[in-house]
Structure 1
Amino acid sequence: MAGMFLLATMLFSSGTILGQKKEIMVRLSEIEIYPEYVSQYKAILKEESSASVKLEPGVLAIFPMSQKNDSTQIRIIEMYQDKDSYQLHLKTPHFQKYKTTTLKMVKSLKLVDMNAIDPESMKMLFRKMEE
């Protein structure tokens, strides 16, 4: 048993698996909501994003926003510790509730995976928020 723990520690230490560094997953969700559902959708989204950040260690940030001049246009910056954390997020009860209750409210959805240009600055952002 101790040998398995040592092996797991070696494989997963420093965010690496067998020498491969796990990368933070960043995604931009571009969502258009039908106008009659905007306030209801925002309330459900606020509940889901808050639960995700509070309850899931692998969720670094879920930051929902709406365009100033068009409240039907929602953008969400999502940051996960890695792709595995994202996959776990999709299976949580709060995400499943969000997805099923808002399905009829969404006119369009586009998920855009992003690459961080300066990941070191991203780390500083989180440190600054703690100050």
Structure 2
Amino acid sequence: MIIRLSELEIDSKYLDEYNKILQEEAEASVRLEPGVISIFPMSLKEAPNQIRIVEIYANKAAYESHLKTPHFQKYKTTTLKMVKNLKLIDMTALDADTMKKIFHKLK
């Protein structure tokens, strides 16, 4: 499994437009790609232009496939001017078994 936390700072003048594009990309990724387990965007309450995305992929192949999809490519190219800062943090699950139960509870 690949788990990543994306930390983004968005130029405030583009925030509404960015959020719309991000929501479309996240929805399409989860709906269309079997290997995408989560693209879960959120923002800091005190700073809505600070975006965090929890990304979970079944494996490296699923992640690499995701990067080539039309919806991700559209997201990446249309938001390029909107992103002031991007940091990708690779994570390790400490309890993958419980994580499976969390997603099961959402059904």
TM-score (norm 1): 0.81
| 1:73-84 equivalences in 2 (<5 Å) | 73-84=50-61
- Corresponding residue to 1:107 among 57, 79, 84: 84
Task: Show the counterpart of 1:69.
Answer: 46
Q: How far did residue 82 of structure 1 move?
A: 0.5
User: Does residue 35 of structure 2 align to residue 46 of structure 1?
Assistant: no
* Helix, strand or coil at the partner of 2:84: strand
Q: Give aligned-pair identity as a percent.
A: 60
Instruction: Kindly tell me the number of residue pairs found equivalent between the two proteins.
Output: 107
User: Does residue 70 of structure 2 align to residue 93 of structure 1?
Assistant: yes
For residues 65-88 of structure 1, give each alpha carbon's deviation from its aligned partner in whole angstroms, at most 9, with x where no partner exists. 011000110000000000110000
Q: Which has the larger radius of gyration?
A: 1
Which of the pair has the greater relative contact order for Cα pairs under 8 Å at 6+ separation?
Answer: 2
CA distance in 2 between partners of 1:50 and 1:115 (Å):
24
Task: Show the counterpart of 1:29.
Answer: 6
Moved >6 Å (runs of 4+): none
Q: CA RMSD in A?
A: 0.5
Structure in which a larger fraction of residues adopt helix: 1
Task: Show the counterpart of 1:9.
Answer: none
